[in-house]
Amino acid sequence: MGSNNKIFGAYISGTGSFVPDKILTNADLSKMVDTSDEWITTRTGIKERRIANENETTAYLSIEACRNAMEMAGLGPEEIGAVIIGTITPEMVFPSTGCFVQQALGLKNAFAFDLQAACSGFLYSLSVAEAFVKMGKYNNILVLGAETLSTIVDYNERTSCILFGDGAGAAVVSRTDDTSKGVLYTNCGADGGGWESLYCKAYGSRYPVSRPLEDESDKFMKLQGREVYQLAVRTIVDEFNLCLKSHDLDKSQIKMIIPHQMNARIIESSSKRLGLSEDQVYINIAKYGNTSAASIPIALDECVRQGILTKGDYSILIAFGAGLTWASALIKF
Ligand SMILES: CC(C)(COP(=O)(O)OP(=O)(O)OC[C@H]1O[C@@H](n2cnc3c(N)ncnc32)[C@H](O)[C@@H]1OP(=O)(O)O)[C@@H](O)C(=O)NCCC(=O)NCCS
């Protein structure tokens, strides 16, 4: 709590994103594995994805995204109180990606850490920042989703290698006395019982780098696409309804829902179940594929910069991913 036990508002004062220049198209992938542009497009909606070069590490992508977000917010480095980076592809095992970003941007008053919740990483981080800002402890927190998934994708495995791409998105969460706007509601959930749907085994304490892997492909991420597909649809529907209910809103009042970009068909089938119109649902997966934690903040930045989300608009953000984890947020701009 602040000194007077006052609860503040927490609003998004700036957004930013950054993706590598290199594009990997469906045509490129069809030369690497037995697949086709037609299969990938009809099953996923993805046309191309960005791939980082060896200098474009997760911290590098994060730094660029943060610069854009801080510029929009009009904030200098000393005004940032914390940086939280949702990622499953950190700069190193340790120290955190956040520390590299803190140093590079000269955030001398900020503490920094990474938060690992796979595709839900950005919304989990947003929820943490929301609590810190609303209790009055910090004025401005940088929240990110940043990934170099190409470093853990098996480019011999056709079901997963077509899905993923690299990128970073950032948002500044800032304190305000106006509690009627900003991050109005967040919800986060987990079910570790579903971990085998989507994972990367190496190299943690169970499969340490010091012991040879029985199966070399365990260096890469693995997924049970079908299982994840069905759960994702159900979660998007449930989380959307929770967000509406939290503030007694009707779906017609939501300007834009920004779901995690995992598969256009998953997004379309959940929006159909919710009875949303096409122009209420943001889909940019054709350009970037699934960038895990980065997908929602990249899409959010596009919505803000294109003027799709402006003052007074309600937006609902929903993520689902490995863990299993899920999360949602209701934001009023
Ligand atoms: C992965 C995904 C695109 C697969 O689509 P699908 O419609 O479920 O397809 P299936 O896995 O049932 O496979 C159907 C067939 O296509 C084949 N196939 C798989 N990948 C292929 C590819 N890239 N190109 C061509 N054929 C492919 C399969 O081998 C299978 O062939 P079979 O019927 O002869 O056995 C889809 O399940 C999905 O998007 N799941 C969620 C993604 C996810 O987990 N994201 C991460 C969490 S956020």
In angstroms, what is the span from residue 186 Cα to ligand 1's centroid? 31
Is the model's pLDDT at 225 over the cut of 90?
no
Residues 168-180: pLDDT tens digits?
999 999 999 999 9
Residue 205: predicted pLDDT: 95
pLDDT band at residue 191 under the 50/70/90 scheme: very high
Q: Is the Cβ atom of 223 under 6 angstroms away from ligand 1? A: yes
DSSP H stretches of helix in 34-169: 37-44, 58-73, 97-104, 121-134, 158-161
β-pair partners for 172: 14, 142
pLDDT band at residue 2 under the 50/70/90 scheme: very low
Q: What angle do CA 138, 187, 181 make, to 5 degrees?
A: 55
**Residues found in the chain:** 333
In angstroms, what is the span from residue 197 Cα to ligand 1's centroid? 13
Residue 4: predicted pLDDT: 59
Q: Is the Cβ atom of 26 under 6 angstroms away from ligand 1? A: no
Q: Whose CA is nearest to atom 5 of ligand 1?
A: 43
Residue 68: predicted pLDDT: 98
Mean pLDDT, rounded, for 8-19: 98
CB proximity list for 259: less than 8 A, separation 6 or greater: 236, 266, 267, 270, 281, 282, 296, 317, 318, 319
Among 59, 308, 305, 69, CA closest to 166: 59
Q: Is the Cβ atom of 229 under 6 angstroms away from ligand 1? A: yes
Q: What is the mean pLDDT of the chain?
A: 96
Mean pLDDT, rounded, for 51-80: 98
Is the model's pLDDT at 61 over the cut of 80?
yes
Share of the chain above pLDDT 70, in %: 99
Mean pLDDT, rounded, for 80-86: 98
Q: Is the Cβ atom of 75 under 6 angstroms away from ligand 1? A: no
Is the model's pLDDT at 196 over the cut of 60?
yes
In angstroms, what is the span from residue 102 Cα to ligand 1's centroid? 39
Mean pLDDT, rounded, for 91-112: 98
Q: Which of 99, 119, 161, 303 is labelled catalytic?
A: 119
Domains 9-179 and 183-332 share a fold: yes
Q: Is 140 a catalytic residue?
A: no
Share of the chain above pLDDT 90, in %: 96
pLDDT band at residue 1 under the 50/70/90 scheme: very low
Among 170, 169, 173, CA closest to 182: 173
Distances (CA, A) of 250 to 267, 281, 288: 20, 15, 31
Please state the atom number of ligand 1 nearest to the C-alpha of residue 266. 39
Residues 279-304: pLDDT tens digits?
999 999 999 999 999 999 999 999 99
In angstroms, what is the span from residue 203 Cα to ligand 1's centroid? 26
What are the residue ranges spanned by the domains of the chain? 9-179, 183-332
Mean pLDDT, rounded, for 86-113: 98
Q: Give the CATH superfamily of 9-179.
A: Thiolase/Chalcone synthase (3.40.47.10)
Residues 260-283: pLDDT tens digits?
999 999 999 999 999 999 999 999
For 193, the token pair is: 């019982």
Q: How many CB atoms lie within 10 A of CB 28?
A: 13
Among 56, 220, 223, 213, CA closest to 153: 220
Q: Is the Cβ–Cβ distance between 46 and 64 less than 8 Å?
A: no
Q: Which of 43, 88, 228, 267 to mutate to test the pocket of ligand 1 (most atoms within 8 A of CB)?
A: 43
Q: Is 119 a catalytic residue?
A: yes
Residue 318: predicted pLDDT: 98
For domain 183-332, the CATH architecture is 3-Layer(aba) Sandwich (3.40)
Is the model's pLDDT at 5 over the cut of 80?
no
Q: Is 263 a catalytic residue?
A: no
